[in-house]
Amino acid sequence: MRRTLLFAALVGLILASLAIGAASLTEGGAWLLMISRFPRTAAALLAGAGLALAGVVVQQAVRNRLVEPALTGSPEAGMLGLLAITLIAPGIPVAAKMLVASGAALVGMAGFLALADRVPRQDPMLLPIVGLVYGGILGAAATWIAWSTDLMQYLGIWWLGEFSGVMLGRYEWLWAVAALAGLLYVVADRITILGLGETQARSLGLDYAKTRALGLIIVSVLTALVLVTVGAFPFVGLVAPNLVSRWRGDNLRANLPLVAVLGGALVLAADVIGRVIRYPFEIPAATVFAVFGAGAFLWLLHARPARPTEQSDG
């Protein structure tokens, strides 16, 4: 029943996204749908799905459900990489920018993991706080470089995730999210074992280091894809995996499709809400989602653990 409602809500959001906009469909017709509305809708779905899946992997890697990519410093590290490549080679193709951003995000993630290995695990809130401070330091460095080089407006585009500039020809790299989602589904059982911790994972025959490295590479690429294409989004990788886990339990392979669908639906909903609150003006989807995500985060901190009956499909 809940799954049916989720997919029904997704269909409704897609139709609303295609129908809502400053320009009327009676004026633009099929051309407007193909050039703007379809790409924008697809970009929101793919970005949300990618960030939600990245959140699943990060939570398994650090064994903490309150951590997500936005709390690991990887978006800020990706921005540092983008600033560096913009200053060195401003005319470089988008594919090269994504490669540099992915590498920088991976380095930033490695720094967070080095810190995570030294953080006591008794208090689950401590690690997200460390990630917040770590990301703040990297973000401050990015801001200083952008200010010094007169690139603050350029940096602001990456800080604020929104879809108003998405058009045909300017979002297609996000389809790589689908390929990475397929790869994650193939290695889902290994990612699940990864969440048991290094000792137990090795005792079960898992190559812990390689599996962790593969997972973090996927997270870095997903983060860079979204960052370069539409900007940074907070809380998506935190909210979607936790909601699905409370609903369905911890069967990662079974949950991955639902996590992706829910992440995409939540981001698309934020985009649609941002378009209608002050129509015909827009509020960035990342701003809308940040408000919802902050409330969801507080709820997760205080909510009771889900009972087995609450994890069923009913």
Domain locations in the chain?
Answer: 2-15+31-72+155-311
Inform me whether the pLDDT recorded for 301 exceeds 90: no
Locate 84 and state its tokens: 């560096």
Give the lowest-confidence range in 100-109, 274-283, 302-311: 302-311
61-77 pLDDT, tens digit each = 888 888 888 888 899 99
**What whole-number distance in Å separates Cα of residue 7 and Cα of residue 187?**
25
Cβ proximity of 69 and 106 under 8 Å: no
Q: Looking at per-residue confidence, does 258 or 30 come out higher?
A: 258
Three-class SS state of 205: coil
Q: Which of 111, 57, 54, 68 is nearest to 234 (CA)?
A: 68
| Reported confidence tier of residue 45, pLDDT bands at 50, 70, 90 | very high
Phi-psi region of 58 (alpha: psi -120 to 50; beta: other; left: phi over 0): alpha
The reported pLDDT for the residue numbered 236 is 92
Inform me whether the pLDDT recorded for 161 exceeds 50: yes
Cβ proximity of 42 and 105 under 8 Å: no
130-142 pLDDT, tens digit each = 999 999 999 999 9
Inform me whether the pLDDT recorded for 88 exceeds 60: yes
Percent pLDDT > 70 in the chain is: 93
Identify the CATH class of 2-15+31-72+155-311: mainly alpha
Locate 270 and state its tokens: 């934020």
Cβ-based neighbour number of residue 100 at 10 Å: 22
108-131 pLDDT, tens digit each = 988 998 888 888 877 788 888 999
Q: Which of 152, 111, 119 is nearest to 135 (CA)?
A: 111
| Reported confidence tier of residue 46, pLDDT bands at 50, 70, 90 | very high
Burial class (CB in 10 A: 0-12, 13-18, 19+), 186: exposed
28-37 pLDDT, tens digit each = 667 778 888 8
